[in-house]
């Protein structure tokens, strides 16, 4: 398993810049650190440069921009992922961000592209989980993938998406506690709410299926496959899926309802409002 125990203080500053949406500033700092890494591991710089350019592409798409700048950001992200892989291919970072890049390119290029590349993305996420089983963002991303894909034409699975999202939140909270992420981002909770809303089980079915998953987990060792069943050993509220989804929205709104929100939180606030509007009776 890869070492995943702390963040260099200079990289905490970079991660905060990314959370604030100051993407150009983050790239400038990382580039300077890569040229003179001092006591910072080059791998940690390289994959963050890939991450930063994926975020740049995402921000351009968010602004409604669809031109060569998006493709250029994707291409630069790929270049840095290649560098990260050359530095150390035994850690999960490059594999995870490669999966994220495939996902973002799929969103940009349309549903058919997403469907065509979904298997490669899933395989990279599985590999990432095997290398670093406690990285919460792996399972959050996998939940999004499993919830988004159609079941009849691919491996989409709304039930697995719920368990993956719950697993992602569990490990995310531990990462926050351990100082491995700089902010308690809410996107993972919003993803759980979406997965629950679309699964749409009543309270009785939740209880019955939880017992089935609990038994199945006894036979499963692979971390990714366990994450798809993890709901079986978690404490879940006595209510329906959609009731829980609405409770989660209330909780997220309470966490995000503060002035001068971080860029990342503002984006999540917008997603929250979109879900509320879509789920109104």
* Whole-number pLDDT of residue 3: 52
Q: What is the dihedral of CA 281, 235, 191, 239, to 10 degrees?
A: -10
* Whole-number pLDDT of residue 2: 45
Residue of 234, 222, 225, 169 whose CA lies nearest to 195: 169
Ordered by start, the domain boundaries in the chain are 1-132, 153-281
In the three-class reduction of DSSP (H, G, I as helix; E, B as strand; rest coil), residue 151 is classed as coil
Q: Are 187 and 255 in contact (CB under 8 A)?
A: no
Those residues whose C-beta lies under 8 Å from the C-beta of residue 114, and which sit 6 or more positions away, are 103, 106, 107, 148, 149
Per-residue pLDDT of the chain (281 residues; tens, 9 = 90+): 445 678 999 999 999 999 999 999 999 999 999 998 678 999 999 999 999 999 999 999 999 998 899 999 999 999 999 999 999 999 999 999 999 999 999 999 987 677 889 999 999 999 999 999 999 999 999 999 999 987 767 788 999 999 999 999 999 999 999 999 999 999 999 999 999 999 999 999 999 999 999 999 999 999 999 999 999 999 999 999 999 999 999 999 999 999 999 999 999 999 999 999 999 96
Q: What is the dihedral of CA 243, 252, 189, 271, to 10 degrees?
A: 100
Model pTM greater than 0.85? yes
Residue of 189, 187, 202, 195 whose CA lies nearest to 243: 202
* Whole-number pLDDT of residue 116: 86
Q: Which two tokens stand for residue 228?
A: 């798809």
In the three-class reduction of DSSP (H, G, I as helix; E, B as strand; rest coil), residue 91 is classed as coil
* Tokens 């399972």 found at: 139
Q: 179: phi > 0 → left, psi -120 to 50 → alpha, else beta; which?
A: left
Pairwise CA distance, residues 20 & 29, whole Å: 15
Q: Which CATH architecture has domain 1-132?
A: Alpha Horseshoe (1.25)
* Whole-number pLDDT of residue 1: 42
């Amino acid at each position: 398993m890869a070492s995943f125990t702390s963040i260099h203080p200079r990289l905490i500053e970079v991660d905060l810049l990314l959370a604030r949406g100051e993407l150009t500033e983050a790239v400038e700092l990382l580039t300077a650190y890569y040229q003179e890494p001092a006591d910072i591991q080059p791998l940690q710089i390289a994959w963050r440069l890939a991450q930063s350019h994926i975020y740049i592409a995402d921000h351009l798409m968010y602004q409604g921009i669809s031109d060569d700048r998006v493709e250029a950001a994707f291409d630069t992200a790929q270049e840095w992922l290649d560098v990260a892989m050359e530095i150390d291919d035994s850690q999960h970072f490059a594999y995870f961000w490669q999966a994220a890049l495939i996902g973002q390119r799929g969103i940009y290029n349309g549903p058919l592209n997403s469907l065509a590349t979904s298997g490669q993305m899933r395989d990279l996420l599985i590999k990432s989980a095997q290398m670093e089983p406690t990285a919460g963002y792996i399972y959050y991303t996998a939940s999004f993938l499993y919830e988004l894909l159609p079941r009849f034409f691919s491996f989409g699975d709304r039930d697995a998406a719920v368990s993956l999202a719950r697993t992602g939140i569990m490990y995310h909270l531990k990462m926050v506690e351990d100082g491995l992420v700089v902010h308690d981002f809410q996107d993972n909770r919003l993803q759980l709410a979406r997965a629950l809303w679309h699964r749409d089980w009543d309270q009785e079915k939740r209880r019955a299926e939880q017992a089935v998953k609990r038994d199945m987990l006894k036979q499963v060792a692979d971390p990714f496959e366990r994450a798809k069943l993890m709901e079986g050993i978690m404490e879940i509220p006595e209510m329906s899926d959609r009731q829980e989804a609405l409770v989660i929205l209330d909780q997220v709104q309470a966490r995000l309802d503060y002035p001068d929100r971080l860029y990342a939180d503002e984006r999540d606030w917008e997603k929250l409002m979109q879900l509320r509007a879509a789920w109104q009776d």
